[in-house]
Amino acid sequence: MISVLPGTTLSIREKFFDDFNEPLIPDSTPSVSLLDSDGDTVSLTYATPDTAVGTWLADITIPKFDNKDSLEYTVRWDFEADGVKYRSKENIIIEPTVEERESEAVALYGDSSFLINVPIATNADAEPVVTYEFYEENTLLYSLQSDDEAIKYSTNNYSTNVALPLSVTGASLTPRLAVVRYSRPGRLIPETLTYKVWVITPSIISATSQLENFINKSRISNVIPELRYAISDLLLALSRGLETFNSLPPALSSFTGTNMQGVLLDSWLITSAINLLNMQYMAEGSLAFDFSGQSVSLNIDRTQYIESMLGRLESLVENQVKPLKKLLSKADITSGDGAIGNKNIGGGNFGITTLSRATTTRLYGHTTYNGANAFRRYW
């Protein structure tokens, strides 16, 4: 029995042969109907000849349901050849509607594995075979089949938690990529799922907490769930904020952000907060709600407060972050994990003395006579 998800397209085949194993030639194009449990037609489509003789192919669109339980539907083929009507039926299971899969995975550097959720029921013995690939930048670190002993599964009826081995060179604010390739029963084209994998340090986790406290000190429970601050949003803001901090004048820097401390952490949080609020500003604008009734008016719009906060943060960049970058440049501190931010990085005298000698150089001093026409000049 074929299992499908609501809102997807099911590709299905059927063969029509006579008693002598000869393919039947239809009088008209065969029709394919999707019937509900009461026998009523939900959708109707027409088949097309497949490459194999006597085989027909149809793509059936499964309607979107908000079902919490499995639904059993029927696919019915109606085929007529030489005035004789043929009918074929096959039952399918429409799985319950599930929440959108999590496309982010977070792990601490040093962990042996990371966890992703695949929206199919699979395990080491399942068919067809699922392939798991793991990339760092453009480098393929490994490609494993679903029966590999290094993979662990926790399966329910409709999705699977998959623990994959974690093999990276170090922690980073640049996410790695996990790719899952598989084929659903009845589908001709394999499906590909991608997951960002963040491999971070305890210091970065602390920075995400500080960033959320900085932005959401009131701990507001969002009226719209889509506007909540997920850890993936915070990590993306920290990553983009680090690039912003590194690109600020007067000199480009290349801090990795894996252990930012002190003044470097403070400036990094400022640039990260700007990126996070810009993302939140667009989301708030897209989901703003305004309703006016006869006696009730409801308005949900927080963009004005976000815009005001962005203005104050941009002032901090000009008055605090850029001067810090100038001092860092003079002290020749432009790279590292950021731990130096807790140390004295502003001490000492800055200056450069250049001595050149040319025909235009004027030298000043005094001359003493040493006898026998010998002179010694001092400067």
- Omega before 323 within 30 of 0, i.e. cis: no
DSSP state of 22: P
Q: Which two tokens stand for residue 191?
A: 């499906």
Same CATH topology for 2-94 and 104-200?
yes
- The whole-number pLDDT of residue 258 equals 93
Find which of 137-151, 302-316, 348-362 is predicted with most confidence, using mean pLDDT. Answer: 137-151
Report the side by side order of strands in the sheet with 9-15: 9-15, 55-61, 48-49
Q: Measure the CA–CA gap between 305 and 298, rounded to whole angstroms.
A: 18
Class of the domain covering 2-94: mainly beta
Instruction: Give how far the C-alpha of residue 317 lies from the chain's centroid of Cα atoms, to the nearest Å.
Output: 28
Round to whole Å and give the CA distance between 235 and 125.
36
pLDDT band at 289 (very low <50, low <70, confident <90, very high): low
Residue given tokens 């590909």 in the structure block: 192
147-201 tens-digit pLDDT: 899 999 887 656 788 999 998 889 999 999 999 998 766 666 778 889 999 999 9
Residue 209, Ramachandran bin (φ over 0: left; ψ between -120 and 50: alpha; else beta): alpha
Compute CA distances 202 → 24, 206, 211, 262, whole Å: 68, 6, 14, 16
Of 97-106, 245-254, 347-356, 368-377, the range with the lowest mean pLDDT is: 368-377
Q: Which pTM does this prediction carry? A: 0.63
What are the boundaries of each domain within the chain? 2-94, 104-200, 203-342
Q: What is the DSSP letter of 23?
A: B
The model's confidence at residue 378, banded by pLDDT at 50, 70 and 90, is very low
Residues of the chain with pLDDT > 70: what percent?
Answer: 77
Query: What pLDDT shows up at residue 291?
Result: 57
What's phi and psi for 306, nearest 5 deg?
Answer: -65, -40
Query: Which of the listed CATH numbers 1.10.3470, 3.10.450, 3.40.50, 2.60.40 matches domain 104-200?
Result: 2.60.40
Exposure string of 150-164, with b = 16+ CB inside 10 Å and e = fewer, is ebebeeeeebbebeb
94 pLDDT exceeds 70? yes
Over the chain, what is the mean pLDDT?
80
Where do the DSSP E strands lie in 309-379?
Answer: 335-336, 366-369, 375-378
Name the strand (E) or helix (H) holding 329: helix 322-330
